[in-house]
Structure 1
């Protein structure tokens, strides 16, 4: 074995909160391992979030192993710098064998068992490999974007920082998931004229009947719902998250209210040709569906309150504050004064560097609670890895403890 080759029990690929959480358990169990991180432990929070980014789940849900939120505002929402401080303080709470700026470029399986991991100039031979690098690798931007006049600036949501970053003029935001809806508000509050292409993302109220909706759902064990019990089964992993915000103490994001205040709403973007945006005729349907999801969540909370005999203030049903006109007229970008397009349509995972038979025909990894059919090969930190709480600060510790148990062969209690 050459000098740059090493043998170790476990290689964890990814040093964010998921990889570090597993490392915390393995350190406690004295398991020989290494955490390989392409950037730094907090780089995604620091480098891929806008300035006014904040959590959409309350601080009390931040429950990394051995490191629960200990601040003075458990029902508040940490802003970007506070999130970075929280993750950094977790990293500082123990001594993980973390190697930053170490990009893994290849993972292959040995014929005799175990795996070969190539990172920078080193080769690691391990019995166990855990992929904790997330699923948000390649920013999605449609092919036709390359034909748009370069005078119109185009950036992806991961590169957006603030309104001052964009040229003067109107902004077209494409996508109404969590990032798109929150960025629209960020621009709108800065006095920018915004147009939003509304997709099929659902919405949820921030507060209902005297409490944060997350508190109600936690009491109802929604975050413990396992993917095999979800009506969509594995399809739950492809669902867009509900849009809501924790900004300034938390409030609803109502796209209809935005429209009433001057934001231009359009249906799903179909294409842009010759600087003219064409939309599907689904704006009303998408707004109505988002409201229905919100109403259904409220109805489930009402049922819980009734079953438990809880005293809670009663709220009147939501009444739409704005309705779209019929039609889906195209939008001439230059005539509308649009100088920037923000693509908020998500990411694609990139696992091309993994040569292990753990993927389906759509190149998506297949697992059961993070455990694949390849012995000793696991995933961690992905949405719906096991429960609705997976991939969030609230559920990572449970998933990490489970995988630590699979690696060590014994039951590991959740910290």
Structure 2
């Protein structure tokens, strides 16, 4: 891409898993399009994750339908670099029109004519439609309670790479979703003393009765849930593919020496206060875990499946001291804590989109990715159409829906009335009408 004005039917912003999936479906439908990526294809997998990260789902599940991980066991878990390579190979597979190193800076609706004017780092693009495929992980969020203490190293999980980058000393990890839990586990395995702040969470079994949890949630219809259950908006999921894939069990982590604490409440003069909710949060996570086992057992019995029983899956580790006698205050200096890792999620950033496609809170206003602003689309959002939208395979199916919608809109705009079509073919509408009358007579 070079500087200057370019006209295109559909512009896709972002060449991660969402952008690559979008391009595939647009290509199949013959829709002219261009994909712009400010860095490299799937860059977030390479530079926006820690070194040891692997996919949270097995290779047979966390992929697009058109290409398998031929160098991995179907039940294995791909490392982050392998995942990034996968998307690059997938884009090459259908010759995706991706331009890397181009940043989209502003999108504005045209006045008095269709489409949008897009300002980029390499010139102006005029597009009839724009798909924001930048995903949900755009701006790392560190909450306002973070202490202003120069003695502490504080980083977001997006900046964490490995234990060696942190100063010597104990670490407080705030947030016990998949990222926080895996980072805390890695730090403990590296010999660090770790405090893990645990909030509300789901923790499905990594596998049960010889089937991965991704399979169970599929056959049980959980991936197809269309909306999050009320009150579960801030519930994270604790699951990991690390070390060959193991169920996250916070009681086991505590037995290994990790100090579990409740939700981080406030900091005051070097002392952090935790809410007294650890036991309740663990109990609710256990309920979720056992509910999946119960549903799986019922499914097996109902369908007569020959899957081996797994009674040890219901074994409960005894409560460590940090659970039976919860820590509600911690003097960071006395505890030797020198680092806080904030595994507290991300916020979206659509400041570059100067269009009427957002609600009062700045979130995309859409239905299954089709925006309230005609010609604007979103892809890669959590719960975009279903629970499974956050997974690699889920975004592929969401992209198909969005591409089909674009194709339908193009067909309407291609409409020509009878007079226009006949004029294009050199046929007089009057002569045609007379001919029809003669036939009728």
Q: Normalization by structure 2: what TM-score? A: 0.87
Residue equivalent to 1:297: 292
1:84 aligns with 2:84: yes
Question: Aligned match of 1:283 in 278, 282, 285?
Answer: 278
For 2:371 and 2:293, locate their aligned partners in 1 and report how far apart those are by CA, in whole Å: 37
1:399 aligns with 2:398: yes
Residue equivalent to 1:41: 41
8 A contact 2:56–2:240 mirrored in 1: yes
For 1:63 and 1:171, locate their aligned partners in 2 and report how far apart those are by CA, in whole Å: 34
**Range moving further from structure 2, 4-13 or 338-347:** 4-13
Residue equivalent to 1:26: 26
For 1:329 and 1:391, locate their aligned partners in 2 and report how far apart those are by CA, in whole Å: 34
For 2:288 and 2:191, locate their aligned partners in 1 and report how far apart those are by CA, in whole Å: 30
For 1:257 and 1:116, locate their aligned partners in 2 and report how far apart those are by CA, in whole Å: 55
Residue equivalent to 2:199: 199
Shift in Å at residue 146 of structure 1? 5.2
Question: Gapped runs of 5+ residues in structure 1?
Answer: none
8 A contact 2:141–2:344 mirrored in 1: yes
Structure with bigger gyration radius: 2
1:253 aligns with 2:248: yes
8 A contact 2:197–2:260 mirrored in 1: yes
- 1:211-256 C-alpha deviation (Å, 9 max, x unpaired): 22222222233223333xx544xx76x4444212111211111111
* Matches for 1:196-275 after TM superposition, within 5 Å: 196-227=196-227, 231-232=229-230, 238-275=233-270
1:147 aligns with 2:142: no
* Matches for 1:162-177 after TM superposition, within 5 Å: 162-177=162-177
Shift in Å at residue 65 of structure 1? 5.2
Shift in Å at residue 119 of structure 1? 1.2
For 2:176 and 2:72, locate their aligned partners in 1 and report how far apart those are by CA, in whole Å: 32
Shift in Å at residue 166 of structure 1? 0.8
Name the count of aligned residue pairs.
Answer: 403
For 2:229 and 2:343, locate their aligned partners in 1 and report how far apart those are by CA, in whole Å: 27
Residue equivalent to 2:384: 385
For 1:63 and 1:139, locate their aligned partners in 2 and report how far apart those are by CA, in whole Å: 26
SS of 2:371's partner is: coil
Question: Aligned match of 1:322 in 306, 319, 323?
Answer: 319
Shift in Å at residue 303 of structure 1? 1.8
Shift in Å at residue 259 of structure 1? 1.1
For 1:4 and 1:272, locate their aligned partners in 2 and report how far apart those are by CA, in whole Å: 52
8 A contact 1:24–1:65 mirrored in 2: no
Shift in Å at residue 327 of structure 1? 5.0
8 A contact 2:176–2:201 mirrored in 1: yes
SS of 2:223's partner is: helix
- 1:61-110 C-alpha deviation (Å, 9 max, x unpaired): 13325223334411111112221221221122122221212111111112
1:336 aligns with 2:335: yes
8 A contact 1:16–1:41 mirrored in 2: yes
SS of 1:95's partner is: coil
For 2:141 and 2:356, locate their aligned partners in 1 and report how far apart those are by CA, in whole Å: 25
SS of 2:105's partner is: strand
Summarize the Cα distance change of 1:125–1:358 in structure 2 as closer, same or farther, 3 Å threshold. Answer: same
8 A contact 1:21–1:65 mirrored in 2: no
For 1:328 and 1:241, locate their aligned partners in 2 and report how far apart those are by CA, in whole Å: 22
- 1:315-353 C-alpha deviation (Å, 9 max, x unpaired): 333424215134543101110011111010001111122
Summarize the Cα distance change of 1:240–1:70 in structure 2 as closer, same or farther, 3 Å threshold. Answer: farther
Shift in Å at residue 198 of structure 1? 0.9
8 A contact 1:280–1:328 mirrored in 2: no
Question: Gapped runs of 5+ residues in structure 2?
Answer: 411-441
Summarize the Cα distance change of 1:72–1:261 in structure 2 as closer, same or farther, 3 Å threshold. Answer: closer
Q: Normalization by structure 1: what TM-score? A: 0.92
For 2:317 and 2:391, locate their aligned partners in 1 and report how far apart those are by CA, in whole Å: 31
Residue equivalent to 1:357: 356
8 A contact 2:275–2:328 mirrored in 1: no
8 A contact 2:130–2:376 mirrored in 1: yes
8 A contact 1:62–1:69 mirrored in 2: no
For 2:370 and 2:285, locate their aligned partners in 1 and report how far apart those are by CA, in whole Å: 34
